[in-house]
Amino acid sequence: MADDPYKTLGVARGASADAIKKAYRKLARQHHPDLNPGKPEAEAKFKAVSTAHDLLSDPERRARFDRGEIDADGQEQAPAGGYRRQAEEAQGARYGQAGNSGAFEDMFADIFESRRRADSAPRRGQDESYRLNVPFLDAVQGDTKQLTLPDGRVLSVKIPPGVVIGQVLRLRGQGGAGRNGAPAGDALIELDVADHKLFQRDGNDLRMELPVTLKEAVLGGPVVVPTPTGPLRVTLPAASDSGRTIRLRGKGVAAHGTRVAGDLFLTLRVVIGKPDAALEAFLRDWAPEDPEDPRAGMEASE
Amino acid sequence: MITLDILRTRFSALEVDDLQRWIGEGYVRPERAADDLLFEEIDVERVRLILELRDVMQVNEEALPVVLSLLDQLYELRRRLLRLGIEPNAAS
C-alpha cells in the first residue's frame, strides 16, 4: 500500500491545491526517471509522488481519502520512464547526434496541413451510450425519467409504455457536441427493465398467479386483485378451478400510439390454508352428487 | 509503429502545432510513409517525455533544447559504456 500522500509530497494535510501542485512539480523535476537513468530509487520515488499527486489533485478523491473512504493507492497512471528504456538500447542512436534543426520541417508540412484541414472540417458529434434502469411498472405504464450524465447535464427521458430489456432509446442531438458547426451526436439509452414480484411480461400482456381460498373457488364472488393501475374488484365465477385463467381486458401494457392496451391474465391457484376442523368434518361426511375421478385416463405410457 | 492520428489519440494534451514545431526542430524524429508519419516506440516515449517536461516539470519551450541536448549526450555516453561492456551504474 502507498504511503500517506501528504507525507510523500511533504505538505500539510490542510495544504492548498496550489501548494500541492508546487510540491509535486518540485519532486517531479528531481526524480523523473528519464532524467535519472540507472537510479531505480528515483523511479520508485517518482511513481509514489505521481500517485500521491493524482489522489490529492482531485478534490473529490482527496475528500474521500481525508474521510478515510479510500486508501492511498491511486489508479496507476501511464508509467513514466519509458523513454529511458528506449534510449539505452540501440535505437537510442536515433537521437544521438545533435539535432539537424529545420531539416524535417518542409518534408512533413503537407501532412500537417492535411491534418489541420481535417481538424477544421465540420464533424458530427459522437453518439454517447448510457444505461437506464426502469422499474417494471414504468415499463408497462410508460413514464418520464431524469438521467444525470457524467458532465452534469440532466436528460429527461420519455419512456413509452411497453419497452423491453435491452431496448435502446435515441435522443437526437443529446450526444457529443459537433465540431465547426456540425450537429451534435445522439444519446443512446439502453434500458434495463427490472423483474416484478407479481407480474410477468408476455409481449403486451401481463400474467399473474392469483391465490384464492377454497370457498372463493367453489362459490365464486368478488375478490380484490392488484393490477398495474391499482387494486381492482373482480367477480370470480362459481366453481373456478385451480389453473383457470381469467382475462382482465386492457389491464396489461398501456396503449401507445396505434397499439391497443394489453391484457392481464390471472391464473387461479386454490389455497387450502391451515387445517380446519369443521371443513375436515364436513368433507369426511360429504358424498359428492356426481362422483368424478380427476385422474381418469392418466397413464404414464403413451 | 503508430501513425500520427493514433499518436494524437494517445496524448490528449498534444497539439498538432506543437508537434510540427518539435519535429521541425528535430526534437522528435518520425519517419514518413506516403502521406502519413510513422512513430517508433522511442518517438512515442520521446513525445511523452517532452510533454512531461513541459506540463509537469514546467520546462519552457526555450529551455527544452538545452534539456534534450544534455539528455541526448547523457544517453549517448551510457550507450557507449554499455557497448564497451561497462555497467554505467557500477560504483567506480
pLDDT mean over B15-28: 90
Range of the domain at A74: 5-89
CATH of the domain at A74: 1.10.287.110
Residue with cell 531539416: A103
Contacts of B76 in chain A (CB under 8 A): 92, 96
Q: Determine, for residues A95 and B56 on separate chains, whether the beta-carbon distance falls below 8 Å.
A: no
pTM, to two decimals: 0.51
Phi then psi dihedrals of residue A235, to 5 deg: -95, 120
Give which of B44, B40, B86, B66 is closest to A35, Cα–Cα: B66
- Mean pLDDT of all residues in chain B? 89
Shortest alpha-carbon distance between residue A35 and chain B (Å): 7
A175 and A204 share a domain? no
Residue B48: CA atoms inside 13 Å, Cβ hemisphere, count? 22
A148 and A179 share a domain? yes
At residue A205, the pLDDT reads: 96
CATH of the domain at A175: 2.60.260.20
Q: Determine, for residues A83 and B32 on separate chains, whether the beta-carbon distance falls below 8 Å.
A: no
Shortest alpha-carbon distance between residue A44 and chain B (Å): 17
At residue A77, the pLDDT reads: 45
Domain presence at residue A294: no
Shortest alpha-carbon distance between residue B9 and chain A (Å): 13
The 10 Å Cβ neighbour count of residue B73 is 12
A215 and A174 share a domain? no
Which domains are assigned to chain B? 2-83 (1.10.1660.10)
Compare CB distances from B20 to A83, A99, A112 and report the shortest one's residue.
Answer: A112
Mutation target vs B (from A104, A114, A119; most B CBs, 10 A cutoff): A104
Domain presence at residue A98: no
CA distance A289 to A189: 62
Domain presence at residue A292: no
For residue B67, pLDDT beyond 70: yes
Mutation target vs B (from A115, A117, A120, A126; most B CBs, 10 A cutoff): A115
pLDDT mean over B1-19: 88
Q: Determine, for residues B58 and A25 on separate chains, whether the beta-carbon distance falls below 8 Å.
A: yes
A189 and A207 share a domain? no
Domain presence at residue A19: yes
Strand order from edge to edge, sheet including A168-171: A128-134, A187-193, A168-171
A206 and A262 share a domain? yes
A213 and A138 share a domain? no
For residue B52, pLDDT beyond 50: yes
Domain presence at residue A49: yes
A212 and A188 share a domain? no
A14 and A35 share a domain? yes
Q: How confident is the model over A127-161, as pLDDT tens digits?
A: 888 999 999 999 999 999 988 887 788 889 999 99
A74 and A136 share a domain? no
At residue B91, the pLDDT reads: 58
Q: Residues with Cβ < 8 Å from A260, sequence gap 6 or more?
A: A250
Shortest alpha-carbon distance between residue A80 and chain B (Å): 8
- Split into its structural domains, chain A has a count of 3
| Cβ-based burial of A210 (10 A; exposed 0-12, middle 13-18, buried ≥19) | buried
At residue A1, the pLDDT reads: 56
List, for chain A, all residue ranges whose pLDDT scores fall below the cut of 70: 1-2, 74-80, 97-106, 302
Q: How confident is the model over A149-205, as pLDDT tens digits?
A: 877 888 899 999 999 999 999 999 888 888 888 888 999 999 999 999 999 999 999
CA distance A143 to A158: 6
